[in-house]
Amino acid sequence: MNEQYQHRARKRFGQNFLHDAGIIDRILRAINAKPGEHLLEIGPGQGALTEGLLGSGAQLDVVELDKDLVPILEHKFRDSDNFRLHQGDALKFDFNKLGTPPRSLKVVGNLPYNISTPLIFHLLQHAHLIRDMHFMLQKEVVERLAAGPGGGDWGRLSIMVQYHCRVEHLFNVGPGAFNPPPKVDSAIVRLVPHEVLPHPAKDPRQLERIVREAFNQRRKTLRNTLKGLLDSQAIEAAGVDGSLRPEQLDLAAFVRLADKLTEQQPAS
C-alpha cells in the first residue's frame, strides 16, 4: 500500500483489522450480498470486507469513525459507483437517512468490543428497516446473544436481542485472523429481525425495565429484585413463580411480567 495510505490500528477505537482471506471469504458467503440489495457496513477499517461486498454489485454505505481511515477508503474504492462513505459515529448515525425501504437493509460490521452492545441496541431501534445483520464480535458476547434460559450467559442482552431477532452463532474466529491479534476469540453472529414478534409486549419499554431490574441482582429471587416494580401477588398473577431467579425465566415469562407492569401504570 502507498505509504500515504498506511494506517496503524488504534487502541482507543478498539481496532483489530481482519486479514485472513479464508475467514473473509467465509463471512462474505454468510452475508450472501446480491446486486440490487442495500448494505451498510459499520467500521470498515481498511476495507477487508468492503472489497468483496462491493464486488457483489450491491449498493454499499459505510460508516467509519476514524478520520484517518477516510482517505484510505476513498482512495481504495474511488472507482466504485456503488460505494458511499459516511464519516462519523455509528452510535449516533441516523439509519433513516439511507432512505431504505422497510426490511431491506443488510447490516455488516467487525464491531469494536467496547461499543458492540450499545451499537446493537441502537440498531434494534431501527429493526423495521433491517433484513439481517452479520457481526464479528467477541466470542463471549455472541454466546450471550445466542444463550437460552437456565445458564449464566442468559441475561439482558440475550432477552432484548431475542425479543427482536432470531440469533444464529455461525462460526468462531481465532486471534490470528486479525492484525494486531486481539487477546480474545471472536465469532460471527447473524441477527434476523422477526417479521412478526413471537412474544410482543404491550409496551417494550416496560420489558426493558423489568429485565434491567431483574438482572441487576441476578442471584436474588424475582420477588426481591422486582419488588420496586411488582409485588408478589402481581408476579404470581403473571403466571411466574416469584421464588425463581431471573436466569430461570424464558422470554415469554418476562413479557408477561412486563405486561402486568404496563397494566398497573396509570393511564396518561
Single residue among 145, 174, 193 that ends a domain in this structure: 193
Residues 122 and 245 in one domain: no
Phi, psi of 236 (to 5 degrees): -65, -40
Range of the domain at 245: 204-263
Q: Is residue 236 part of a domain?
A: yes
Q: Is residue 268 part of a domain?
A: no
- Say how many CA atoms lie within 13 Å of 52 toward its Cβ: 18
Inter-CA distances, 101 with 37, 98, 104, 127, 137, Å: 11, 9, 6, 12, 27
pLDDT, position 2: 44
Residues 182 and 108 in one domain: yes
Residues 250 and 189 in one domain: no
Residues 172 and 213 in one domain: no
Low-confidence ranges of the chain (pLDDT < 50): 1-7, 9-14
User: Which CATH number covers residue 67?
Assistant: 3.40.50.150
Residues 211 and 162 in one domain: no
Domains of the chain: total: 2
Residues 25 and 146 in one domain: yes
pLDDT in tens, 126-164: 999 999 999 999 999 999 999 999 999 999 999 999 999
Residues 30 and 95 in one domain: yes
pLDDT, position 15: 53
pLDDT, position 9: 45
pLDDT, position 179: 84
Single residue among 193, 220, 242 that ends a domain in this structure: 193
pLDDT, position 267: 62
pTM score above 0.75: yes
Residues 96 and 68 in one domain: yes
Inter-CA distances, 10 with 16, 22, 45, 137, 141, Å: 8, 24, 11, 17, 22
Single residue among 158, 193, 228 that ends a domain in this structure: 193
